[in-house]
Amino acid sequence: MPEKKLNTVLAGIANVGKSVIFNHLTGLHQHIGNWPGKTIEKAEGTLHYKGYTIDVLDLPGIYSLGTYSIEEEISREYITKEKVDFIINIVDSTRLETNLLFTLQLLALQKPVVLALNMMDLSRKKGLSIDCQRLQELLGIPVVPMIATEGKGITEVLDEGIELVKTQKPVLKVQKELTAKERADLSHQICREVIKVTKPKKISWSEKFDNLTCHKIWGYPVMAVILSAMVLTIFRFGGWFSSFLEDITSGWQEGWKTIFGISIWASLGWSAIESAIALIQIALPYIIPFYLLLFLLEDWGYLARVAFLLDNLMHRIGVHGKACIPLMLGFGCNVPACLSCRIMETQRERFITGFLTTLVPCSAVTVIIMGLVGKFVGISWAFGLYLFAILIIFGLGKLASKTLPGEATELIMEMPDYKQPNLKTIVLQTWFRLKDFLYIAGPLVIISGVIIEGIHLAGWLPAIANFLSPITVKWLGLPTITGILLIFGILRKELILVMLATLLGTANFAQVLNPVQMITLALISMLYIPCIATLAALWREFGWKKTLGITGFEIGFAILIGGIAFRILARLF
């Protein structure tokens, strides 16, 4: 007999364990994409269970079915308009009263709902006893106690959902939309009936650590240590892994020439391979540890504390506290920084954050700043460029928040308990984000590499350099050859320094460039169009129109600031 098909969704507020349950249910049979026309992530998967093929959709984590945010709009539209056989409403049993506010909204939609009462182990540790049977009677829906991190209660939830489909049992307890006050009163009344404190509450180590990490004074040094360790780990591992991959692939070009000889087609073929190698060498060594550590901090519960602590500062540039994560990670690589903008709730805040991350000096730009300015002009000038970049980011962020339509949203979020991270979930989430990025960025990087190599083989680079000379020479005060450097810098920013040494025939740049030109070139490299991998990430998140808008603005802005800086610096040296 052919399997019967069912459609279910996972619904709940943020940080209740939806990702863990989703990965338990679907494993590798899932894919990550975007909702049509949105930058909100869409996770879907399939499982086969007791003669049923069950399609599972992980809805965005939200606090309400109102239409205040993109996530709320998506969840409400999907639940009300699409065919859903049953809803798995996942709630945090340690914060039952808050979670039930969303549950009551779901019940008002008159859809079949199974309540998955997750984190029962943490409830017991807190001395809370929940009468699941009584809760089931009060709500009129199946209630299943669950410990998702241990896989307990997963099959029971599916059994209850299938039973609902078979019996077509109607939802009776909540027959109309309640006001916010009515929901709050009803939730409080239910919790008074079903929750009992079984032992005197003791302050656990996680609560003590929570008090420390959220402290208005001590929370900041703790955060600085944790985030610095995160960024340092990404930097160190990324640098080591990148060098390791570079050593492995260092002789491949000679091997390619030996096999295919020297010809136009061989050169174009190698440029495609070299572009793919560049993507692997530059992006992956930073993306992999970034996602692993990001999901580790999120699953542990610390990411919410970071957002809370930095909320006031981030509001000054039109976003809220979560934006600090992408901006900090941009110092390692702009690619994962752009991709991590998904932690922001609204399209407006994601776009502002994504735009600002492209202005953060990544590790490739660091090579230029330190190898050119730090080495030949002075380390103080190099650090001055970083300080200038930070001022630019805050200034443009403030401008963007004033000019873009919409208002900055307040940070409203549940502060989750600290809990043991689930390694399987972290690895699976990392793998799917990595695969998703490679599908988008890979083709763009390879195609752009072939195009640039074709321009080089056609002998058009000198003509292009001369065409750009009114900008590079007359306005920016740089040698004519820098027009070629900036073109190749689109593929990889550090190629600017490598090609500069190759074209000028020396790595002692002080012999061919004066201090003003060095600082100006480093400044231009820092501000102008991001590398092709970052453009691919922007395209993936915001679409081609916004990507072209960011690209055009940053090219014009870099040229404007570079020319002004050249004239000011010429008076200082």
Least confidently predicted of 36-40, 72-76, 306-310, 453-457: 36-40
3-state secondary structure 178-223: CCHHHHHHHHHHHHHHHEEECCCCCCCHHHHHHHHHCCCCCHHHHH
Per-residue burial over 384-418, b if 16 or more Cβ lie within 10 Å, else e, is: ebbebbeebbeebbeebbeebeeebbebebbebbb
CA nearest to 120, candidates 141, 91, 100, 140: 91
Q: Judge contact between 69 and 345, C-beta under 8 A.
A: yes
Domains of the chain in start order, with CATH, are 4-197 (3.40.50.300), 219-363+381-412+422-444 (no CATH), 459-572 (no CATH)
Q: What is the pLDDT of residue 491?
A: 73
Q: Cα-flanking dihedrals φ and ψ of residue 151, to 5°? A: 75, 10
Strands 41-49, 86-92: pairing kind: unpaired
How would residue 179 be classed by pLDDT, with cut points 50, 70 and 90?
A: confident
Six token digits for residue 347? 């399209």
CA nearest to 527, candidates 499, 505, 496, 503: 496
Query: How many CB atoms are located within 10 Å of the residue 232 CB?
Result: 11
Least confidently predicted of 33-47, 105-119, 341-355, 385-399: 33-47
Sequential DSSP letters for 234-271 = HHHHHHHHHHHHHHHHTTHHHHHHHHH-SSHHHHHHHH
Q: What is the dihedral of CA 222, 224, 229, 234, to 10 degrees?
A: 140
Q: Cα-flanking dihedrals φ and ψ of residue 301, to 5°? A: 110, 5
**Residues 412-449: tens digit of each pLDDT:** 566 677 777 878 878 887 887 777 667 766 777 678 77
Q: What is the pLDDT of residue 422?
A: 78
How would residue 262 be classed by pLDDT, with cut points 50, 70 and 90?
A: confident
Has residue 452 got a pLDDT over 90? no
How would residue 185 be classed by pLDDT, with cut points 50, 70 and 90?
A: confident
How would residue 33 be classed by pLDDT, with cut points 50, 70 and 90?
A: low
Over residues 118-126, the mean pLDDT reads 86
Spatial neighbors of 207 by CB under 8 A, at least 6 apart, are: none
How would residue 39 be classed by pLDDT, with cut points 50, 70 and 90?
A: very low
Provide the whole-model pTM: 0.61
User: Which is more confident, 324 or 69?
Assistant: 324
Q: Please tell me the distance from the alpha carbon of residue 169 to that of residue 162, in angstroms, as a whole number.
A: 11
- For tokens 């012999």, the residue is 511
Has residue 479 got a pLDDT over 80? yes
Has residue 70 got a pLDDT over 70? no
Q: What is the pLDDT of residue 385?
A: 92
Give the residues across from 145 on adjacent strands.
Answer: 117
